[in-house]
Chain A
Amino acid sequence: MTTDAVYKPAETSKVAFYRDPRIRAIFFQVVVVGAVVALAVFLVNNTLVNMARQGIATGFGFLDKESSFAIGESLIAYDPSDTYRRAFVVGLLNTLSVAITGIVFATILGVFVGIARLSTNWLIRKLAQVYVEFLRNIPLLLQLFVWWDLLRVSAPGPRQAWQPLPDVFVSNRGLLYPVPVWTEVHAWMGIASLVGIVGTYILGKWAKARQAQTGQQFPLLKVGLGLILGLPLLVYLAGGAPTELNKPVLSGFNFVGGHGVSPEFAALLIGLSVYTSAYIGEIVRSGIQAVNWGQSEAAAALGLSKARSLRLVVLPQALRVIVPPMTSQYLNITKNSSLAVAIGFPDLVSIGNTSLNQTGQAVEVIAMVMAVYLIISLSISLFMNWYNSAIALQTR
């Protein structure tokens, strides 16, 4: 303690206060924050002055007014006499539905592409490589236009609709398919599959505990699948197996009945999934390649079958490499779904754009749309971070 005192006082006091790094840091931060605040005040002030001059209303009062524009497709009941608020909800639901289905399809397709890139079959390996290079080097918007024109211009009219399966029609009106007529039995089937899922979860906990104690394994996969799929099937049979279908039928120049997706939705979904699958394919490939070859050899030496070595040894390690970049691809799909505005699918941005043009309240509308995307992005990031930490290497 006493020796320290020898070096300290005289020298530090000689340094001028403006050369002290801590004081400089505070000064610098004050200047930067001050500049940012000044810029913000300047911009907000200009905006207020400009809006007052142009007679643009402010505030979110417009949300309760009648929107008076029609929306092509909606998951909830909507008509032009509804409010802007409801129109926004319709847009949000459309964005979410295309993003979530896109994520599912892109993942399935991407995993196939990734595995194909690593195949021992030369043809499929090269084919996958061409697929990836081709899709990654052409703008997504251009691909969307191509899909849209394919479905809109080149697809046959309703009368000449292409029928890949009985009662499934592909035409320039979109894809139409039959759905079962809703009965009470279907509701009970839903409940049965829920029971199956909960049952499998509890069974899984019990099987894990038992294996930890006694070392005995339990065929969880088979029993679980049996519960989740078998229970609803039993209910279906017990309910008298209703077979009535709501089929699309050609009537005049268009179809009546059935369920369907519009060409816009289909183009957006196909475009997003195919484009992103090329990126996901590369992520999956590099993830699998990142697992040391010795791991597979060790698994084989232990006598694990190829499928089990993939499931128990290779995949858990590959997932650690795969999940972080996969998160950003899922975020990209969500953000890229906003390209819907260019092909006329009523997503959040498209409906925001229409509302903006009608009300002139650009600041509020754009702020709302951006806030929604930020919330979606943050939620996906949070979920994937949680998942990533769940599968991360457990170090003790």
Chain B
Amino acid sequence: MSEITVPGVAPKGPIGKAVFWARANLFNSWLNTIITLVIIYGVVRLVPPVIQWAFLDSVWSAPDNSVCRAALGACWAFIGVWYRFILFGRFPYDEQWRPLLVCFIFIALLLMSCDRRFWNSWLMLIWVAGTAVIATLMWGGVLGMTFVETDLWNGLPLTLILAVFGLGFAFPLAILLALGRRSHMPAIRALSVGYIEFIRGVPLITVLFMASVMLPLFLPTGTTINKLLRAEVAFILFSAAYLAEVVRGGLQAVPKGQFEAADALGLSYRQKMQKIVLPQALTIAIPPLVNTFIGAFKDTSLVIVIGLFDLLNTANAALNDPAWRGYYVEAYVMISIIYFVFCFFMSRYSQHLEMSFNKGKRR
């Protein structure tokens, strides 16, 4: 809509082009002129103070709080002192290379899974191997690494473990639920619909509370289940319902002829789904699936209510230190950037996939 060309008055030179562009995009009506001026006024009023606060008046490193108290700007020294606690929490300080390595393994595995060249059965094996390495690094107890309780798995690794394994285990369950919802067997359909609608009708917090308080009651007397596993179970049960709805959308988008052709070839239900329907349905569903992943990644922050120390809660814990009170903007800016990078990458990736899937359909 910005490409307005008027024959005969084509602008000349960079300044002419800029003026022409501004007239077409910023001052093309009296309302737009007012909006443009108001926005420019707002930017002029807001941006310099923010720059002043964040860069010019800020304290970048300080041994203690006194320098920051005196300064007018941001106290990035707070991050300098606390970043390792925010990222890794109470994990033994000298061995924090382990969770750091775990984060890199996670990122490498995720990036690999994003590349369509790796979408084959080998990927599954690589994930199993990666999971084994992650578990070894986190728990330790072998190869000279000290054993570390799951209570001390804090910060970014915890967020990634909850999100990645939560979704990884929720996904097969989601496929079963989606198939169940589309099944011709009334009892199976009723169970699937009931489960999906129940979970989607209640907030994640209540599911987390249920897992945290009621799961120990559900199990036979004497069995204990640790906090992290409880949260993970809640997360799996919760995400499965949302993923199931996305998968169902994919199943519904597969043309009916595909089902009929598979039936006509005499394929069994399992073969029909595994070889014909699901590959198509899941491909269609990938972009909305990635959007659900983003939601799930953000939702991991809710484990704070059952007392787990994920990335958000370690930041809150750092903010509670009496010696460094009040630097919440700095701490939240730091973890916002981390969350944003992950989520923004996923959303861009989903858009990219959608484009490449539609390549054949565009003319």
* Chain A interface residues (CB < 8 Å from chain B): 25, 28-29, 32-33, 36, 43, 46-47, 49-51, 53, 119-124, 127, 133-134, 136-142, 145-146, 149, 153, 335-336, 338-339, 341-342, 349, 353, 356, 362-363, 366, 369-370, 373-374, 377-378
Asked whether A366 and B36 contact (CB < 8 A) given A32-B188, A374-B202, the answer is no
Tell me whether A349 and B203 are in contact (CB under 8 A): yes
Are A33 and B187 closer than 8 Å at their CB atoms? Answer: yes
Q: List, sorted by A's number, 24 A–B pairs whose CB atoms are closer than 8 Å.
A: A29-B186, A29-B187, A29-B188, A32-B191, A43-B218, A49-B221, A50-B217, A53-B221, A120-B1, A121-B28, A123-B26, A123-B35, A136-B347, A137-B347, A142-B312, A142-B332, A145-B312, A336-B203, A339-B302, A342-B304, A363-B217, A366-B210, A377-B200, A377-B201
A136 proximity list for chain B (CB < 8 A): 294, 343, 347
* Most chain A beta-carbon neighbours within 10 Å: one of B185, B205, B328: B205
Is B82's beta carbon under 8 Å from chain A? no
User: Using Cβ atoms and an 8 Å threshold, which residues of chain B touch A363?
Assistant: 214, 217
- Fill in one digit per residue for B329-346: 1 if any A CB lies within 8 Å of its CB, else 0: 100100110011001100
Partner of A46, one of B221, B298, B329: B221
> Is B205 in contact with A25, judged by CB distance below 8 angstroms?
no
Which A residues lie within 8 Å of B347 (CB)? 133, 136-137
- The interface of chain B, by Cβ under 8 A from chain A, is 1-2, 25-26, 28-29, 32, 35-36, 39-40, 184-188, 191, 198, 200-206, 209-210, 213-214, 216-221, 294, 298-299, 301-302, 304-305, 312, 316, 326, 328-329, 332, 335-336, 339-340, 343-344, 347
Nearest 9 A/B pairs, CB to CB: A137-B343, A122-B25, A139-B298, A377-B201, A338-B203, A335-B203, A29-B187, A362-B213, A139-B301
Out of A142, A342, A366, which one reaches B214, CB within 8 Å? A366
Report A-chain residues with C-beta under 8 Å of the C-beta of B201: 373-374, 377-378
Cβ contact of B185, chosen from A29, A43, A51, cutoff 8 A? A29
Q: Are A373 and B206 in contact (CB under 8 A)?
A: yes
Closest Cβ neighbor of A140 among chain B residues: B298
| A47, B218: Cβ atoms closer than 8 Å | yes
Q: A53 to B216: give the CA distance in the assembly, Å.
A: 13
B326 pairs with A153, CB closer than 8 A: yes
With A33-B187, A142-B339 given, name 8 new contacts (CB 8 A): A25-B184, A28-B188, A50-B216, A120-B32, A139-B339, A349-B206, A366-B210, A378-B201
Give the chain A neighbours of B191 by CB distance below 8 A: 32-33, 36
State whether A137 touches B217 (Cβ < 8 A).
no
Q: Are B2 and A342 in contact, with the CB atoms below 8 A?
A: no
Contact B39 A142 (CB under 8 A): no
